[in-house]
Amino acid sequence: MKHLTILVPDAQTAPNTLSCIIGTYHIFTEANRYYSHNNKDMVFTIELAGVSEHSDFVNGLLTVIPQKNIAAIRKTDLIVIPAIAPNFTKIEDQNTALVDWISDQYKNGADVASMCTGAYILASTGLLDSKSCSIHWNTVANFKKLFPKVNVRAEKIITDEHGIYTNGGGYSFLNLLLYLVEKYYDRQTAIYCSKIFQIDIDRETQSDFIIFNGQKSHGDEMIIQAQEYIEKNFSEKISMEELSKKLTVGRRSFDRRFIKATGNTPLEYQQRVKIESAKKELEVSRKTINEVMYETGYSDVKAFREIFRRITGLSPIEYRNKYNKTGITAKQHH
């Protein structure tokens, strides 16, 4: 039988830390039970492990008592790292032992899965360097600044690379758990768990949850001016050549500084501002898809749909059907 370790951090915790721990224990216990009920051997022995006798959560309202100290676990097959506080800057002393232990176990053959901001602990091991990683879209800027060697894939719900799994934010850790159940048990068990716990199976993207907010904390005043100009005039045809002249900077230097500050080229930034505006219209208005397209400065339906899907993971019609609560049907808006 394989061994599953659910880590219990001793500091830097948040309410979602507890959700991840309980959710993992609950779903894997149910997967074991289902397997056993179908005359198969249970896959995992499941243990909660940490570095102290108990960890307090939600301002001391709740306490988790780990079953074991990590030092007592010589060999494990799968480690699950729960989410931690999102305002992470560096590993605190109480959690450094977790980082060292995760590194040693991975080198010894264990797979490692991080949930949401648990990626901060995983990235602190160095194991994510040059690998893909998903994390909550709202923490991407901070994560990239702290761990520039990691290939952040904020649009993904799940990444799977060399025995390291990560997932996006909030309660999408449930999708990662189904993914792991399918990998370690089978498809039938994953479908059973998705039905019992009422979790959408095969969800792969968190792009349609990203709220593009024109991030401006980079400190480059010239690029902030450019961002504000693009945001005010996004529905117009903007010449980036003219904009760079307006800001008295060479075009190549303008592009280079823009990418460094925002992570996007000026054109990509303009596209994202346009699509964010389109998303808001599709969420609340009764305008047709074509009306929304024209208002955001697009005239080519195919191009609009392709860019919209690339950024959100959904077509404009799919997005409207999912997020517009006014009872409008897609048939009316082709």
DSSP, residue by residue, 167-225: E-SGGGHHHHHHHHHHHHS-HHHHHHHHHHHT--TT--B-GGG-------TT--HHHHH
Residues 290 and 194 in one domain: no
In a domain, 56, yes or no: yes
Residues 324 and 297 in one domain: yes
In a domain, 215, yes or no: no
Contact 82, 174 (CB under 8 A): no
Is the pLDDT assigned to residue 327 strictly greater than 60?
no
Where would I find the H helices in the chain? 15-37, 93-107, 119-124, 140-146, 173-184, 187-197, 221-232, 240-246, 251-262, 266-284, 289-295, 301-312, 316-323
In a domain, 143, yes or no: yes
How many whole angstroms separate alpha carbon 172 and alpha carbon 210?
A: 13
In a domain, 124, yes or no: yes
Tokens 């370790």 identify what position?
5
Domain boundary among 209, 240, 259: 209
How many whole angstroms separate alpha carbon 92 and alpha carbon 107?
A: 23
Residues 197 and 232 in one domain: no
How many whole angstroms separate alpha carbon 309 and alpha carbon 149?
A: 28
In a domain, 292, yes or no: yes
In a domain, 285, yes or no: yes
pLDDT in tens, 198-236: 998 877 778 877 777 667 778 899 999 999 999 999 999
Residues 76 and 170 in one domain: yes
Is the pLDDT assigned to residue 274 strictly greater than 90?
yes
Residues 145 and 33 in one domain: yes
pLDDT in tens, 285-306: 889 999 999 999 999 999 999 9
Residues 286 and 172 in one domain: no
| Whole-structure pTM value | 0.77
Closest residue by Cα to residue 252 from 265, 236, 238: 265
**Count of domains forming the chain:** 2
Q: What share of the chain in percent tops pLDDT 90?
A: 75
Domain boundary among 181, 209, 237: 209
Residues 285 and 148 in one domain: no
- pLDDT at residue 218, as a whole number: 84
Domain boundary among 209, 234, 266: 209
Contact 102, 127 (CB under 8 A): yes
Residues 47 and 196 in one domain: yes
Q: Which comes out higher in pLDDT, residue 56 or 137?
A: 137
In a domain, 144, yes or no: yes
Residues 180 and 229 in one domain: no
Residues 106 and 132 in one domain: yes
pLDDT band at 328 (very low <50, low <70, confident <90, very high): very low
In a domain, 216, yes or no: no
Residues 166 and 32 in one domain: yes
Q: What is the domain-level CATH number for residue 36?
A: 3.40.50.880
Query: 290 CB contacts (<8 Å, ≥6 apart)?
Result: 301
Q: Which domain holds residue 36?
A: 2-209
Residues 194 and 247 in one domain: no
Q: What is the domain-level CATH number for residue 291?
A: 1.10.10.60
